[in-house]
Structure 1
Amino acid sequence: MSTSNGETDADPRLGARVRTALGLESGPLTVLEGGRSGLTYALRGPEAGYVVKAVPPGRRATGRHDVLRQAVILDAVAGTGVPVPAVRAVDEEQPAWFAMDLAAGEAVEPVLEPDRAIDPPTARARMLTAARILGELHSVPLGAIERSVAASRPVPEVTTLEAEIGKWARTMDAVPEDLRPQGTELIAELAADIPAAVEPVLVHGDFRLGNVLFDGLVPTALIDWEIWSVGDPRVDLGWFGVFTDGTLFPGAGHAVDGLPAEAELADTYREARGRGSGPTAWFAALSRMKMAAIMGHNLVRHRRGAHHDPVQEQLPPSIAKMIADARALLAGEPR
């Protein structure tokens, strides 16, 4: 099916529904690369652009396909000072979808995307700005977020650190042992010394520079909210820190001169938030375990044919490095 200007929709039925909801007569629905939850499209109207996230036809809106869960949290965060794209339309009719503004700018992960390299001073400035955004996000009163979410769906329970370990341990355990050397020992060491809980906040879940759009040095949107939760702020900050060090990704990443180290990120974050809750070695180690588990999971899916991606074959050295570095952090050893 073609739109009124003759261009073809990637999904004609969905395209028609989206244009009707947005009051548009033209503009094709095109696949937007990079979206991992549900299906992600772009639609460019005569005056504005939109990103559309939709549940795949025949799938239930659960888990990573529950795209409306993202619309709920984007609405809750809007107006807090944290830059997020505005939600413009929501349709719960199956297959469900929502449309949000197509924010200007680019999202680049310096240590993992050498082909999209940005100059080191820009990478450094963006990373420090992102640390301030994270501090601002964790400063948003949780009660206000929960009230907004509760208007349309149950508020998730607080994710404890025990549950956080358990979630990623299950992912790690599903990876063959030869691909995760000493992974079992790392999980046991983390579980044996869990830090005391702090006041919970809204946790993004995948906070890193690759999920913050920048127009030059100006942040325009924090995106990819599919795994948001309520939990420990140090989980977000520890995860962000993994992406400061290209040496943690041998064969898959590269070092970038001038990027702030984890300690500097934490200082910038604390200044923006106006309070502590900076990362400890434990949270840095947890984040490396999480990364090793995710990489192992992706590699196994590739080798089993569930998702063909030869790039995944570069991951074994990075998995081993993540685990070894995490264990060294917990032991207080030189790295």
Structure 2
Amino acid sequence: MEGAVEVERVRGERATPTRELLRAVWGTYALDGEPRLGDASGTSGIRDLGGSSSLNLLARRAGRPVVVRVYLPWVDSTRLSDLQRIRGLLRDAGVPTPRVVPTADGRQMMPYDGRLVELEEYVEHDAEMDTWARLNAGMPTLGRVHSVLDGVDAADVTRYPGFANAVEAADARAVTSRGVTRIRSWGDNSADWARMCDEAEEIAEIVATAETASPPTRRQLVHGDFWDNNVLFCAGQVAAVIDLDFLGHRPRVDDLALTLFFADQTLLPALDERIPLLRRLVDWYDSGLDQPLAPEERAAIPAALARQQLWGFGHVVWLDEKPARNLVDVMVGEVRRTVAIARDLPAWRAAFAEVGA
């Protein structure tokens, strides 16, 4: 079975908008005005748009808003060239995706201090995909993204990102074990942390058994983080799909499970509504596919959903202790919700296998 390529990469920290960086970018891209950061309201200077990986700055060029994106050090020119090509394929197929703005001398990216920088159009929007109504409206676009990317090839560094919020089914048990081992090594774990470690190992064992018997199928390039501020809306319609930082080659149901996971964790009002609401999102997603989900793919979704948060245990291993502890605090509640799915996996599989139920 195809699995992740073993890589040794240094993730690095999100770039800091130093005076030297800003001057270099402004000169290379011929941006408007003086390169200085604005205040917290963004009413003066340039504004940091946020993001956990890339540094994203709102600036202007020839009077038009643009986004300066400074990547993490592990993103090389091969991967970024692939990402730009893939964004173009999506745009040509009708998925709204911002265009790359070249440097003043026509290049698609610029190097700076071991990182790559690109400029892209800024998309005006009034909302993000963070409500049930916008999720319902956005899921067919995820299906369209998967249909466009099906069969698209890319370099290994693109297919297997060094850092992502995903874990392969074949790796979930080992990744969880390493993370749990580190958490327990701190020796001062609360009862919540101790219970979470036990529950995570239980999830990994249940899911590993289920997915060994019925491994996920239809591996392909997928978006990697189709959620919240990566899907922009204007007047109730999808205005842009952005941020392919976690794009990789995985089962398409794994990518779907990520969106379902965040919807389940942040938007579901009651546990007894979980299955019908999440299954409805699957049906909306399916409506955007050229090749609809096969019954075995639908049945595989709950295991992928239960496995989703186990990627966090891999991050616990490489993060410094303070941010690792902060991540564990977040994971306690997330694992508590997903262990319930693992413990009732046959019922979830049966429910999700039903088309349009």
Bigger mean CA offset, 94-103 vs 18-27: 18-27
What is the aligned partner in structure 2 of residue 325 from structure 1? 341
**1:169-188 correspondence to structure 2 within 5 Å:** 169-173=173-177, 174-175=179-180, 176=183, 178=194, 179-188=196-205
Quote the residue 1:285 is aligned against. 303
Partner of 1:136: 144
CA distance in 1, matches of 2:57, 2:173: 33
1:29-69: per-residue Cα shift (whole Å, max 9, x none)? 5452431114332223452222222246xxxx31xx55873
Secondary structure of the corresponding residue to residue 84 of structure 1:
coil
Match of 1:220?
239
User: What is the Cα-based RMSD across aligned positions, in Å?
Assistant: 3.9
In the alignment, does 2:206 pair up with 1:189?
yes
Aligned-partner residue type, residue 271 of structure 1 = S
Structure 2 counterpart of 1:76, one-letter code: I
Asked whether the 8 Å contact 1:55–1:67 carries over to 2, the reply is: no
Number of equivalent positions: 293
Does 1:81 find its partner at 2:98?
no
Cα distance in structure 1, aligned partners of 2:65 and 2:77? 19
Match in the other structure for 1:72: 82
**Per-residue deviation, 1:27:** 5.0
Gaps of 5+ in 2: 1-15, 37-45, 103-108, 162-166, 185-193, 352-357
Q: Name the counterpart of 2:116.
A: 96
1:125 correspondence with 2:142: no
Partner of 2:220: 201
Q: What CA distance in whole angstroms lies between the structure 1 residues aligned with 2:68 and 2:247? A: 19
Partner SS state of residue 211, structure 1: strand
**Contact 1:107–1:209 (Cα < 8 Å) also in 2:** no
Change (3 A) 1:98 1:308: farther
Aligned match of 1:23 in 12, 30, 45? 30
Measured in 2, the distance between the counterparts of 1:312 and 1:198 equals 31
**Residue 214 of structure 1 aligns to which amino acid in structure 2?**
F
Choose which of 142, 150, 168 in structure 2 pairs with 1:164. 168
Deviation string 1:96-115 (CA, Å, 9 cap, x unpaired) is 211212222255464xxxxx
Residues 208 and 326 from structure 1, CA distance in 2 versus in 1: closer, same or farther, beyond 3 angstroms? farther
**Distance (whole Å) between structure 1 residues aligned to residue 318 and residue 336 of structure 2:** 15
Task: Give the one of 251, 261, 270 matched to 2:277.
Answer: 261
The superposition leaves residues 119-140 of structure 1 with CA deviations (integer Å, 9 ceiling, x where unpaired) of xxxx333212211111111111
Q: TM-score, normalised by structure 1?
A: 0.71
Contact 1:84–1:222 under 8 Å retained in 2:
yes
Q: How many angstroms apart in 2 are the aligned matches of 1:298 and 1:228?
A: 21
Deviation at 1:213, TM superposition (A): 0.9
Picking from 253, 274, 282, the partner of 2:290 is: 274
SS at match of 1:273: coil
Residue 99 of structure 1 aligns to a residue in which SS?
strand
Please give the alpha-carbon distance, in whole angstroms, between the structure 1 residues aligned to 2:349 and 2:27.
60
Structure 2-normalised TM-score? Answer: 0.67
TM-aligned CA deviation for residue 227 of structure 1: 1.4
Is the CA contact 2:96–2:240 (under 8 Å) kept in the aligned structure 1? yes
Whether contact under 8 Å (1:55, 1:95) holds in the other structure is yes
Once residues 155 and 41 of structure 1 are traced to their aligned partners in structure 2, the CA distance between those partners, rounded to angstroms, is 24
Residue in structure 2 matched with residue 116 of structure 1 by the alignment? none
Q: Distance in 1 between matches of 2:319 and 2:170?
A: 21
Q: Aligned pair in 2 of structure 1 residues 171, 192: CA closer, same or farther (>3 Å)? A: closer
Is contact 1:15–1:28 with CA below 8 Å preserved after alignment? yes
Q: Name the stretch that deviates more: 13-22 or 227-236.
A: 13-22
Contact 1:180–1:296 (CA under 8 A) maintained in structure 2 = no
Q: Given that residues 219 and 250 in structure 2 are in contact (C-alpha distance below 8 angstroms), is that contact kept between their aligned partners in structure 1?
A: yes
* 2:263 aligned partner: 244
Instruction: Tell me, yes or no, if the aligned pair for 2:67 and 2:122 is still in contact at 8 Å.
Output: yes
**What is the rounded CA distance, in whole Å, between the counterparts of 1:213 and 1:171 in structure 2?**
33
Q: Is the 8 A contact 1:84 1:223 kept in 2?
A: yes
Residues 1:36 and 2:52 are matched in the alignment: yes
Q: CA deviation at 1:297?
A: 5.0
Residue 72 of structure 1 deviates from its aligned partner by: 3.0
| Paired position in structure 2 for 1:114 | none
